[in-house]
Structure 1
Amino acid sequence: MEEYLRASEVIDWHHPEIIELAKQIASGHETSRAIAKACFEWVRDEIRHSFDYQMNPVTCRASDVLKYKTGYCYAKSHLLAALLRANQIPAGFCYQRLSIDDKGAPYSLHGFNAIYLPEIGWYRVDARGNKDGVNAQFSPPQEQLAFKIQFPEEADFHAILSEPLQIVVEALQAQATWDDMLRYLPDLALESAKNYGLVTNNEYAPAS
């Protein structure tokens, strides 16, 4: 479980402002479950999704997401993981492959988190930000993510990674504006998912 608590260049939870915010959010909550919920709701509601609000710059590092108060889904998952880890709550990274326009191709990866809660184990949450048609909540053990699988070429990868996918990090670091990022959203063909640790065999697990 130690790997899900580590700080890194992207998940820089040792940053003073992240440590301070993590303490503020945790204040008044006594259980890891309550702290996790508070961290999730803060990132979901206080950090604006770059596309929804057409905000710049494109952020990647957790401290930058906090500094600029904006990020794509991946970046928001980086900040949530940092806040959780700063509170000594194990957090990992999960991905789906989704249709960009809900009509089929083209597709892109979508990033969110898994949180380890002692009473139930790993629990997946999606802090991308709610809007019409999106209603992600923290209500364990019931999972309520932002999106469901609709097409054969979509996938819900159940692997829980300790660090963000490198192709996601590289995509975020390569773009400066929200509209440039929209044109270059990271994607993985289903047959490539095994090479990135997203599946343990040739199958992927569709969402239920």
Structure 2
Amino acid sequence: MMTRSRLPAPLLGLAVALLSAVPALAQAPAPAARTATQAKKAEVSDVLKTPRPAGGEWLGLYLMDKKVGYFFTDLSLVPGRTDQVRAINELVFKATVGSKLSERVHREERIYEAKPRGKLLSFVVEQRGDGGEQRLEGTQTPTGLRVVRKRPGLPDEALTVKASPETVEDADQARVAIYRKTKVEGTITDGTDLESYKVTTTMEPAEERMVRGVKVRLSKAQTISEKEKVPVVAYVTDEGEMVEVDFGQTMKARAESEAVAKRMDVVEVFGLTRIVLPKQLPAEARSVPGRAVMVMTGLPEKFQQDTYRQKYVKLPEGRVEVTLLADVPKPANLKPLPVADPEGGENLKSTIIVESDNAEIRKLAKKLTGTEKDAYAVAKKIVGWVATNLEKDYGASADRASDVLRQKKGDCTEHSLLTVALLRAAGIPSRRVDGVVYMVNEDGVPAFYWHEWVEAYVGEWTQMDPTFNQLVADASHFGVGQEGNAEITPLIGQLKVVEVRDRPTGR
């Protein structure tokens, strides 16, 4: 059976991040929408000096050349005002998983001061479909960014986070960089976790391409967020039309009419994105201790970092031998609660998503811990509780740990999210792991499918899979990222397994 029915976390993370990390990236300029009188009246940001079409733009979103969604994006002065700018961005991401349709709608509206380096004043983020329904209303105040979370049938929640340093130029860094012909740096407050991340846009050499049968010169701007770390390249004609946005080799956005943008392919996402193996993994991969050995292509060097679970040996012609290992933690290394985070505290942090300081999550963590002092023993209790108490419902998704606990059902993402929240509440450093897991589905084809599990520090790091109730994640798990980070998205469609070996031979 499939590991989940929601859209793979790396894909959805990248798609949503396009709105929060580079909100107006796809805005195409056109004949000037700003008059000379307005320019003289007040000093305005360069983001308004770039002409753009009235009414916004539509771009189709393609995954491995299959239509999976679309963007709508618009940036202009707030109607009736000359001192404020409004950026509107909406993403629809849709695909099937097995026999079920999975859809996510993410819409953001941000208001800024119109002057140079004008401050972010407020925002509204609306989410529907896969992941649940909610509305976040944020307002800058003297004490920070106040956010009210609204959900159907539940009381509103209010919290204050660190003030956002985001400015109006960050609403359209690509366009500003092209206008200035220089690098632009800034910060974006992410619309999902409310954290602020550095974003940088640089100019790339211009290219000539065929656009609608005519060869045209295209300016290029590359944007990178410190959160996603995926280069996003925008192509713009001299006349100001945005014709394409590339997110690595996996995803592209193309300028289209509204009608064409909304016309999507029927895409079975797990069949499209799975990694087929030339033969089945050996039985040893399913045991603990266990091992699996493969030869891969399409794995960039930055992912080839040896860990306690994964070893790499470079081979000729761009190939790499990968050895996956699984074993229980060494008893001599185990520590009592609470366990200090070896990475400075990030893996014990409560966030708007993990919510390890939520009263109900803390109460359950305390109950599961009981009088037990050994961190690994507690971690196993938590993983076992989540595995047996969450209904395996691949059509029920939630983006917050408290929502997962309330509904007690979900797929691998929900299992991992609640597990990490409980582990942190119990004083155990932990994080989610994104990668692939080996399965042979109904069609009999051995393959890796995108999956999520957890890693806990109990005196040493150990990986655990609450979806499959594995107290040690077996060697059929290949991890390539953490916390739903879209950095691994370019691997989709590029990573290949060309050989399955019985034992390592590259050393």
TM-score, normalised by the number of residues in structure 1: 0.62
Report the alpha carbon displacement of residue 64 of structure 1 after superposing the two structures with TM.
Answer: 0.7
Q: Distance in 1 between matches of 2:490 and 2:449?
A: 4
SS in 2 for 1:127: coil
Query: Which portions of structure 1, spanning 4 or more consecutive aligned residues, are displaced by more than 4 angstroms?
Result: 98-101, 103-108
Higher strand share: 2
Structure 1 residues 148 and 5: CA distance shift in structure 2, 3 A: same
2:458 to 97, 112, 117: 117
Whether 1:37 and 2:376 are equivalent positions in the alignment is no
Asked whether the 8 Å contact 2:396–2:411 carries over to 1, the reply is no
- Write the mapping of 1:42-191 to structure 2, written as runs, cut at 5 A: 42-51=385-394, 57-98=396-437, 102=441, 103=444, 108-118=449-459, 121-129=460-468, 136-138=469-471, 143-145=472-474, 148=476, 156-157=478-479, 159=481, 161=482, 163-165=483-485, 188-189=491-492, 191=494
How far 1:17 sits from its partner (Å)?
0.5
SS across alignment from 2:479: strand
Query: Do 1:62 and 1:82's aligned partners in 2 also have CA atoms closer than 8 Å?
Result: yes
Amino acid at match of 1:69: K
Residue of structure 1 equivalent to 2:358: 15
AA matched with 2:414 = A
- Where does the alignment leave 5 or more consecutive residues of structure 1 unmatched? 130-135, 150-155, 169-185, 193-205
Return the letter of the residue paired with 1:148: S
Structure 1 residues 59, 100: CA separation in 2 closer, same or farther (over 3 Å shift)?
farther
Secondary structure of the structure 1 residue equivalent to 2:387 = helix
Q: Per-residue displacement from partner, 1:137-168 (whole Å, max 9, x unpaired)?
A: 32xxxx343x826xxxxxx1255x3x333599
Which of the two has greater helix per residue?
1
Query: Whole-Å Cα distance in 1 between the matches of residues 418 and 373 of structure 2?
Result: 22
Residue identity opposite 1:126 in structure 2: D
Instruction: Measure the CA separation in 1 of the matches of 2:463 and 2:406.
Output: 25
Partners in 2 of 1:164 and 1:88 — Cα distance? 22
User: 1:167/1:25 Cα in 2 relative to 1: closer, same or farther (>3 Å)?
Assistant: farther
Q: Provide closer, same or farther for how the CA distance between residues 125 and 76 of structure 1 changes in structure 2, counting only shifts above 3 A.
A: same
Confirm or deny: 8 A CA contact 1:26 1:87 kept in the other structure: yes
How many angstroms apart in 2 are the aligned matches of 1:81 and 1:13? 8
Change (3 A) 1:157 1:191: farther
More deviation in 63-72 or 102-111?
102-111
Report Cα offsets for 1:71-124 as digits up to 9, x if no partner: 110111010000000011000111222577635599742000011111xx1100
**Per-residue deviation, 1:8:** 1.0
Q: Is the 8 A contact 2:416 2:454 kept in 1?
A: yes
CA 1:15–1:72 in structure 2 vs 1: closer, same or farther (change >3 Å)?
same
Q: What's the secondary structure of 2:360's corresponding residue?
A: helix
1:4, distance to aligned residue in structure 2 (A): 0.6
Shift of 1:50: 1.4
> Which amino acid is the alignment partner of residue 410 of structure 2?
G
CA change 1:69–1:90 in 2 (3 A) is same
Query: What is the Cα deviation at residue 187 of structure 1?
Result: 9.2
Contact residue 356 and residue 422 of structure 2 kept, 8 A = yes
Q: 1:99 to 1:115 in 2, by over 3 A?
A: closer
**Secondary structure in 2 matching 1:111:** strand
TM-score by length of 2: 0.27
Give the deviation of 1:6 after TM superposition.
0.7
Instruction: Give unpaired runs (5+ residues) of structure 2.
Output: 1-342, 496-500
Identity of aligned residues (%): 24
Alpha carbons 1:73, 1:128 under 8 Å: kept: yes
**Structure 1 pair 158–15 and aligned structure 2 pair: CA distance change class (3 A):** same
How far, CA to CA, are the matches of 2:445 and 2:491 in structure 1?
Answer: 15
Counterpart residue type for residue 137 of structure 1: Q
In 1, Cα distance between the equivalents of 2:411 and 2:366? 24
Letter in 2 for 1:16: A
Query: Which secondary structure does the structure 2 equivalent of 1:137 belong to?
Result: coil
**Greater Cα radius of gyration, structure 1 or 2:** 2
Higher relative contact order (CA 8 A, sep 6+): 1
Count of matched residue pairs: 152
Q: CA deviation at 1:39?
A: 0.7
**Structure 2 counterpart SS, 1:37:** helix
Q: Is the 8 A contact 2:438 2:476 kept in 1?
A: no
Task: Render the CA deviation track for 1:55-77: whole Å, top value 9, x for unaligned.
Answer: x5322211111000011101110
Q: CA deviation at 1:190?
A: 6.1
Partner residue, 1:24: 367
Distance 1:166 1:48 in 2: 27
SS at match of 2:453: strand
